[in-house]
Structure 1
Amino acid sequence: MQIDDVDRRILRHLMADPSQSNADLAERAGLTTATCWRRIEKMQAEGVLQGRQAIINWRALGWEVEVSLRFTLDKTNPRSFDQFLEAARQVPEVIEIQTFLGQTDVRLNVIARDMAHYQQIYRSQILSLPHIQETDALMLISKVKDSTELPL
């Protein structure tokens, strides 16, 4: 889908405050409420705008540790990726799963309340995931930039 400057303006205002009402969004974008709503519906239908979501700060809820685990899988079994991903989805503390081409096959982002909790998750749930050939852990120290905004 091609978007124009008006669509970009709507998207910029939505990224800045996704909880605003359609009337407020239309006013900020310099449109009538009906026009703004039609453009949003069109962008949703085309898959450009996939919805609005609540972003929860899990650190504020007591989850203090975030670890990025990188895995190389044993690819001698043709179902190794599928079986690994299926099992990883069942670990509640895994908040993100990514697959790659290259030396790393899969990356899991894991959160825990503290280091003792992480150690328990790692030993009881992560190490039992199928088809692990190699793993590497990176503990998050700080996020320098964490944005979902696009340069529109």
Structure 2
Amino acid sequence: MLDDTDRRLLRQLQNDPAATTQALATRAGVSAQLAARRFDKLRRDGVLRGQHARIDWRALGYSVEVSLRFTLDKAAPRAFDDFIEAAREVPEVVEIQTFLGRVDVRLSVIARDLDHYHQLYRNRIVTLPHIAEVEALMQLATLKTDERLPL
């Protein structure tokens, strides 16, 4: 699906997403026109799904991140849908993942401090629908975060 030119362009884009098409093309060894056409095709094909800003939530005063693992009461026909719909309404929930296995859903929750997290947990998290079991894991450090693909 991807040829060498696409891979070179994507590598350059991953290394410097704010660079102009001209700069990316130069670094990839192709013309700006070819790069623009390839990026357009990669967008149409769904390979490139857009560019976005990554905001450091710690710089905005959030110092706590907790990973919450939930097992849901699956006797309710809409347990997953109801839970996810309600979890999306909590602004401090920054990620929702679903799984097969003992854990059904994982939420990544941020808070300003432990008091804020405690309030969130009591008032917003444990009131989510269809919870059978919850396990909290407090994150101490992020050792690797890399969205770049090995192209």
TM-score category (smaller protein): over 0.9
Shift of residue 44, structure 1, vs aligned partner:
0.4
Q: Which residue of 2 aligns with 1:12?
A: 11
Give runs of aligned pairs for residues 119-138 of structure 1, distance below 5 A: 119-138=118-137
Residues 69-127 of structure 1: CA distance to partner in whole angstroms, max 9, x if unpaired? 00000000110100000000000000000000000000000000000000000000001
Distance in 2 between the 1:103 and 1:10 partners? 41
Distance in 2 between the 1:126 and 1:13 partners? 41
Give runs of aligned pairs for residues 27-66 of structure 1, distance below 5 A: 27-66=26-65
Distance in 2 between the 1:56 and 1:16 partners? 17
Q: Which residue of 2 aligns with 1:86?
A: 85
Distance in 2 between the 1:32 and 1:137 partners? 51
Q: Which residue of 2 aligns with 1:139?
A: 138
Residues 121-141 of structure 1: CA distance to partner in whole angstroms, max 9, x if unpaired? 000000100000000001111
Shift of residue 61, structure 1, vs aligned partner:
1.0
Q: Which residue of 2 aligns with 1:108?
A: 107
SS at 1:66's partner residue?
A: strand
Residues 39-75 of structure 1: CA distance to partner in whole angstroms, max 9, x if unpaired? 0000000000111111111111111000000000000
Q: Which residue of 2 aligns with 1:26?
A: 25
SS at 2:69's partner residue?
A: strand
TM-score where L is the length of structure 2:
0.99
How many pairs align?
151
- RMSD over aligned Cα atoms: 0.5
Shift of residue 144, structure 1, vs aligned partner:
1.0
Distance in 2 between the 1:6 and 1:61 partners? 39
Runs of 4+ in 1 over 3 A off after TM superposition: none
Residue identity (%): 58
Q: Which runs of 5+ in 2 are unaligned?
A: none
Distance in 1 between the 2:16 and 2:123 partners? 40
Residues 18-40 of structure 1: CA distance to partner in whole angstroms, max 9, x if unpaired? 11111111111111110000000
